[in-house]
Amino acid sequence: MKKIVCALLLAGLSLAASAQDLVVITSPNLHENDSILVFIPQQIEANYAPEYCVECCGEPDPAPALFLLHGWAGCYRNWSDKCELQKLADQTGFLIICPDGFYDSWYVDADDPYKRQWRKFFDQELYPTLMKKYYLKPEKTFITGLSMGGHGAINLFLDDISRFRGAGSMSGVLDLNSERGRLGLSELIGPYTPENKRHDKESAINRLENAKGTDKLILVSCGYDDSLYPSNRAFCERCKELGIPYLEIYSPGTHSWKYWDYALQLHLWYFGRILNGENLGY
């Protein structure tokens, strides 16, 4: 009887209802709240409704999910303000998760323990909370981001590749030395000096040994006319040296939303093919 009541409640949900969640985490690692926008494919929205009863219906099948990180000077609304994320979620079936990386967190732990420890926040709070809340599984979860978020996505992937099926970067700052302390980096990890090794240690290009031997793909895309194009090429060369599976996609484009709107659709297309075991050419 309980199953029937639950099914009837779920059947009565309006398809016109918002398929977006706002999750707020009060974080001791950040010393403030983090807001996360979650775009749920409309076809599985009922699985996350308050009326859904796990006890009688069981956990729903895990949805594919994408952690999507914004760039420098952005916030958790940045991607949805510029791109049709709900439409993309509905079209691809991916649950799209947009956390707040704040104006210039660079998705790292600041030297000062009283400032944001974003890496610890992701490891200890954000990732486990969202995985549990939405019944997600690592084998169906991906991460990508633009610019500062491309740096963050690859670094979070390299921290523990067991948490994701694959990772991507769009116009990513994959070598922090290319910024030489600009855009708030000096305030976070210290000035760029020969003695300060954090710019090297935090750079994704120098952390690729963590993925050596994996069969998980890294997807790198960048515009030819982007100043970060050379460092993206160098990152892919390092992947090749280490035998790490990667795809590099370059096309005319600049460090702009016109490019990132295109690149996000491209990344979702590739992640969908990975998920479905479709041909990637190797």
- The pLDDT tens digits of the residues spanning 70-95 come to 999 999 999 999 999 999 999 999 99
What are the phi and psi torsion angles at 223 (to 5°)?
A: -80, 145
d(CA 134, CA 131): 6
pLDDT (average), residues 92-103: 98
Task: Give one DSSP letter per residue of 145-172, joined into a string.
Answer: EBTHHHHHHHHHHHH-GGG-SEEEEES-
d(CA 202, CA 34): 22
d(CA 191, CA 198): 9
Band of pLDDT at residue 56, cut at 50, 70 and 90: confident
Spatial strand order of the sheet with 20-27 comes to 20-27, 32-39, 95-99, 65-69, 141-145, 166-170, 218-223, 246-251
% residues pLDDT > 90 (the chain): 79
* This prediction's pTM: 0.93
> What structural domains does the chain harbor?
2-276 (3.40.50.1820)
Q: Which residues contact 64 (CB under 8 A, 6 or more apart)?
A: 92, 93, 94, 95, 140, 141, 142, 271, 272, 275
